[in-house]
Amino acid sequence: MAKAPRSGPYICGTDAALDVVSGKWKGLILWELHDHGVRRFAELRRALPGVSEKMLTQHLREMEADGLVHREVYAEVPPKVEYSLTETGASLNKALGPLGEWGRERLRRERLEVTPVPRDDQPVGSSTRAT
């Protein structure tokens, strides 16, 4: 069961915002759902190399509890579950845009390596996606 949404106390708006995106994978989950609209668990896992099933499940549950992600369960066998951004999740993703631009500039400035992520519609090794 998901925990109740976090509710502070916070010292500023940045503190409150960072509370819901803390963790290595949450920003990337937001980004992936923004890019694709709706994703199943396995699709998210493939899109985020290195994330464990346990960590992805934990982050998705927290994001659902925080109102960032909608989880749709279909009464099928085998079970079908889809994830998408809520309006709140989409607004947070938009707010993270300037942070992403800062990160892209850092990549250029410090000549840091970017790990390509294969897309569903691209063969492995041909990813052009950048953060």
pLDDT in tens, 38-68: 999 999 999 999 999 999 999 999 999 999 9
CATH of domain 13-89: 1.10.10.10
Helix H segments across the chain?
A: 13-21, 26-36, 41-47, 53-65, 87-95, 97-110
C-alpha to C-alpha distance for 9 and 22, rounded to whole angstroms: 16
- Please name the residue that has the structure tokens 């079908």: 80
Asked if residues 88 and 29 have their Cβ atoms less than 8 Å apart, the reply is no
- Where are the domains positioned within the chain? 13-89
Asked whether residue 126 carries a pLDDT value surpassing 80, the answer given is no
Asked if residues 116 and 89 have their Cβ atoms less than 8 Å apart, the reply is no
Asked if residues 21 and 27 have their Cβ atoms less than 8 Å apart, the reply is yes
The predicted pLDDT at position 8 comes to: 77
Asked whether residue 26 carries a pLDDT value surpassing 70, the answer given is yes
Coil, strand or helix: which one is 112?
A: coil
